[in-house]
Structure 1
Amino acid sequence: MTTRRHFVQSSVALAALGAMHPFAALAQAFESVKIINGFPAGGTADATSRRVGEKLAGSSYTKNSAVVENKPGAGGRIACETVKNAAPDGATLLLTPYSCTSIYPHIYSKLNYDPFKDLAPVSIAAVMHHGLAVGPLVPASVKTVKDYLAWAKANPKDASYGSPAAGSTPHFLGALLGISSGVDLKHVPYRGSIPGVTDVIGGQLASMFTPSGDFLANHRAGKLRLIATSGAKRSPFSPEVATFAEQGFPELTTEEWFGFYAPAKTPAPVVASANAAINAALKEKTVIDSLTTFGLIAQGSTPAEMDKSQKDEYTRWGPLVKKIGFTAES
């Protein structure tokens, strides 16, 4: 009996030690881990996955850089489903914008994953502002949101805007702008930002709502014109561009984040290990500077902070989605 009591007491002590020191419960670092994102190469999701993933090497979480796998399509849902079905051992992570976990539940009655039950928050990775940009199909005299709306009203045949996916945050920003202004703006969904931006530059599409970082290089090169951003304050990457709020559309104020998730039931010590490695990577100057070129602000979090933010955004977007009236079947 004494021996058994000693064993139980020792086990409790070791469990407490593991909770205090998460790496103690992780027998050894993975040889490599996989980061899956649901958008094409070259965009902000891909950049975040790769910049952070390569800096995980040599951590207590993984010995080598993460392998990034792009699974574009269905607005990021394919990637979410893939990670939902992955082994809950911590070797596979999802990198996704919060629209896939906080907005999609409001618009897809048959969503093939439950973001609150099938995915475990690990860490926020980066914060982005969205933007509205116009291309050569829109006259150079259009320099503000009100200019754009006046042009769109006068040219209904060409008054279309693209977004990286139906049901994404940029899609809804365009819809809210149309509702608040009374101008009929037709939505054109793409498989990620880059194809839509390419069509704007080529004059096949009038405008695009998407993360403003996906516009920056072409905005600076004069190939398209960024005319508004969605942050509470002006973006540090395009301070010359006024926010939607400054231009009279405060309802379009939003900042979205990319976050890392693990499959549900991944052991807490493994989630803690991944969180520590990701947050360490996000503090490295090379990662911060690299994300800056994409209009992203490196920002980590605890799993609990990310979970709260996800739930807060879910609550905030519910009535907005209802106002817009969009569903997967609409």
Structure 2
Amino acid sequence: MSLFSRRELLDAAARITALAAWPAGAAADDYPSRPIRLVIPYTAGAAGDQIGRPWADRTAPLLGPIYVENIGGAGGAIGSAAVAQSAPDGYSLLLGNGSTQVLIPLSSAQPAYDAVRDFRAVYRLITSTLAFAVHPSLPVKDLQELTAFAKANPDKLSFGTPGLGTGNHLVGEMFRRQSGLGADFIHVPYRGMGPATNDLVSGQISSVIAVVSSQILQLHHAGKLRLIAVTSDRRLSGAPDIPTVFEAGMPGLGYAGWFGLFAPRATPDTVVERIAAATRTAMADPKLRESYRSQGLEPDVDSGPDKFQRLVEDELARLAPVVKAIGLKRD
């Protein structure tokens, strides 16, 4: 299975060529002396915006102007590759996650970037969980009922994700294997979670596997979609009615996601530490922490470059055999 189509690779190359011409920054000891760009590698309105934009707003008084640029496509790979090829001066940052920094590099036959060679971790902002969401017309309330319905209606159920090789996709593939559904549960990759969610609400697809966010919770409470399971090991405080995959008897579907800041690999230590220190101060703000918790996210108030880098490298090592075993990795 190839992660990128030829068109997506050409689009990514065009983006990278344009962004490589971004003007060089000032010396590291003068950092920051101009606006910082935060690339969110997903379409506007998706979960990345609800994490990255509050960080930018709260950190701007500490670092100066920060503007957000959404570069969606290929499950986050296009925007991530753009930052990997940017000048390593601290003026281009990536809001990466377990998909962009772990699963996409592991899944692609021709990765556009290397998570370790091309990036350095700065600070993990939040941890998150995924949720199985279905259209309210679907007569299922848990994973067992979803499995039974899919088997009784072969080739009629689909699940949307923000792209091939994402954590959402990984969980969907593991569910297909553990439930025995196989091809009866059809994967539909999108260019972001926003379009996938819109198609679920309108009934174009049967289900999605989504990062839990304020939007997803609001749609659940409004009856526009139904959450039937979360991949965390405990129920969400914002939606305690939703059972976990552990309660559903599928502990193998447990998955903890995260979002955090990354810089191009050669970014100076002093710049990385400056961004991390400002972020640590911002994360101490109760209002910012509450804004994340209200979305079903858990803020990380004790992260840092070295600690976060180890987490990324550990996950790469842990998930490499899993990705290959379920067929996401093409030799």
- TM-score in same-fold range (> 0.5): yes
- Do structure 1's residue 318 and structure 2's residue 320 form an aligned pair? yes
| Bigger radius of gyration | 1
Cα distance between partner residues in 2 of 1:160 and 1:175 = 12
Structure 1 position 29, deviation (Å): 3.3
Number of the residue aligned with 1:52: 55
- Do structure 1's residue 36 and structure 2's residue 39 form an aligned pair? yes
Cα distance between partner residues in 2 of 1:107 and 1:63 = 37
Cα distance between partner residues in 1 of 2:310 and 2:322 = 19
**What one-letter code is carried by the residue in structure 2 that aligns with 1:316?**
R
- Do structure 1's residue 225 and structure 2's residue 215 form an aligned pair? no
Cα distance between partner residues in 1 of 2:233 and 2:293 = 18
Give runs of aligned pairs for residues 39-188 of structure 1, distance below 5 A.
39-59=42-62, 62-64=63-65, 66-139=66-139, 142-184=140-182, 185-188=185-188
TM-align CA RMSD:
1.5
**What one-letter code is carried by the residue in structure 2 that aligns with 1:167?**
G
**What one-letter code is carried by the residue in structure 2 that aligns with 1:119?**
F
What TM-score results when the alignment is normalised by the length of structure 1? 0.87
Number of the residue aligned with 2:271: 270
Structure 1 position 221, deviation (Å): 0.6
Structure 1 position 254, deviation (Å): 1.1
Give runs of aligned pairs for residues 196-207 of structure 1, distance below 5 A.
196-207=196-207
Structure 1 position 63, deviation (Å): 2.1
Q: Any unmatched runs of 5+ in structure 2?
A: 1-27
Does structure 2 retain, via aligned residues, the 8 Å contact 1:100–1:168?
A: yes
Structure 1 segments, 4+ long, off by >4 Å, are none
Cα distance between partner residues in 2 of 1:164 and 1:294 = 19
What TM-score results when the alignment is normalised by the length of structure 2? 0.87
1:246-288 residue CA offsets vs partner (Å, 9 max, x unmatched): 1100001111100100111111010000001112112212222
Q: Bigger shift: 208-217 or 33-42? A: 208-217
Structure 1 position 137, deviation (Å): 4.2
Structure 1 position 103, deviation (Å): 1.5
Q: Bigger shift: 249-258 or 105-114? A: 105-114
1:57-94 residue CA offsets vs partner (Å, 9 max, x unmatched): 231xx223x10000000111111111111111111110
Does structure 1 retain, via aligned residues, the 8 Å contact 2:41–2:73?
A: yes
**What one-letter code is carried by the residue in structure 1 that aligns with 2:198?**
T
Cα gap change, 1:54 to 1:328, in 2 (>3 Å): farther
Does structure 1 retain, via aligned residues, the 8 Å contact 2:31–2:271?
A: no
- Do structure 1's residue 190 and structure 2's residue 193 form an aligned pair? no
Does structure 1 retain, via aligned residues, the 8 Å contact 2:105–2:113?
A: no
Cα distance between partner residues in 2 of 1:315 and 1:99 = 14
Aligned positions, number: 300
Cα gap change, 1:137 to 1:182, in 2 (>3 Å): same
Q: Taking every aligned residue pair, what percent have the same amino acid on both sides?
A: 34
**What one-letter code is carried by the residue in structure 1 that aligns with 2:180?**
G
Cα distance between partner residues in 2 of 1:106 and 1:175 = 15
- Do structure 1's residue 26 and structure 2's residue 24 form an aligned pair? no
